[in-house]
Amino acid sequence: MKSDPVHVSLPRRLADACVRWYGRWAGLPLLEDWNLFLVKLGQAGLGVGIDHHLDRSGEGRFLEQVLPGWIESKRPVCADIGANVGDYSRALRQRLGPDARIIAFEPHPLTFRQLVNAMAVEHIECIHAAVDRESGSVVLHDRIAESGSEQASLLAELTSQYYRVESVRHEVKALSLDDFAQQHGIDVFDFVKIDVEGLELQVLEGAQRLIEQGAIRALQFEFNVTQIYARTFFRDIHQILPGYRLFRLTPRAMIPLPEIYSPARLELFGYQNIVARRSDWAPSSGS
C-alpha cells in the first residue's frame, strides 16, 4: 500500500522527488562508477563497508564507552566466539578488568595454539572448539596456502567460491552455547561476541534456550558478504532475537536499527558490526 501523500512529511517528499529526478537523469553507463561511489559513501555513513580494525570500526569505542555501562555484574561472564589469536578477548580484559570471566572459543588447531600462548598472561579460558547450532564435530575449511587465516570457516563455499583458492580441511569439535553453558554451570552471559565467518545465525540457533530466558544480556556479531554464502538474511537474525534492541556501529556512534523489519535498511551485505542489548534493560551510560 502506498503512503497517503497528505501524511508524508515535506522533507520526505522532497527527498523522494530528488531521488526520482536523479534516477531519471543520472541512470547512465557513463556514470556507473560515480553512482557506485555514492552507494559506498552512503553505506559508510550507515556503518557498512567501513574499516575492519578494532579502533577504526567503532568496536573500540563500543568496548570502552558503552559496554562497561551495559554490564551490571561485578564479575561478568563473556564469550568470545571465533577468538582467532585473542585480540578481542584482550580488549575485553582491558575494559572489564581482572574480575571478568572471559571464555575464548577457537576451532582452528594452529590458531588455537597461538591463542593459548597469547592469553596465558591474560587469564582467559581458551576452548578448542567451534560454536555451532548443535554439539558434535564439524569440518573447518581454510586456505591451503595460509592455514590459520582469519577467513577459516565452516562454510566450504567461502574458500571455493568467494576467495577462489584451494582449501585444507580440519575436523574439529563443535559445541552449542546452550550445551556449554549447561555443562559449565553458567546461568548468564553478560556479553557474547560472535565472529564466525558467515555462520553467526547458527551460533544463535544453538543459544536459543539462553536467548529465550534472557540469559544473554548483550552481544555483538558481524554481518557481511559471508552471509550470502550461508544463505542468511538479516531478517533471520531479526527474528531470532526477539526482545533485543539492535544497533549498527560506526566509528563515532551507534545507529539504532528498526524494530520493525525493513529490507531497505537491513539487507546490506557490506562489512558491519551489530550490537544488541536486551530491550528491557536500560543502558546506564554512553550510547
Please tell me the predicted confidence (pLDDT) of residue 245.
Answer: 96
72, part of any domain: yes
Domain count across the chain: 1
84, part of any domain: yes
CATH classification at residue 133:
3.40.50.150
106, part of any domain: yes
Domain that residue 258 falls in = 52-278
155, part of any domain: yes
Please tell me the predicted confidence (pLDDT) of residue 286.
Answer: 42
65, part of any domain: yes
97, part of any domain: yes
All 3 cell numbers of residue 249?
556501529
- The pTM of the full predicted model, rounded to 2 decimals, is 0.90
* 28-48 per-position pLDDT tens digit: 999 999 999 999 999 999 999
6, part of any domain: no
Please tell me the predicted confidence (pLDDT) of residue 56.
Answer: 83
9, part of any domain: no
* 80-90 per-position pLDDT tens digit: 999 999 999 99
Task: Please give the chain's pLDDT, 287 residues, in tens.
Answer: 454 555 668 888 999 999 999 999 999 999 999 999 999 999 999 999 988 888 788 999 999 999 999 998 999 999 999 999 999 999 999 999 999 999 999 999 999 999 999 998 889 999 999 999 999 999 988 887 676 677 788 888 888 788 888 878 889 999 999 999 999 999 999 999 999 988 999 999 999 999 999 999 999 999 999 999 999 999 999 999 999 999 999 999 999 999 999 999 999 999 999 999 998 865 444 44
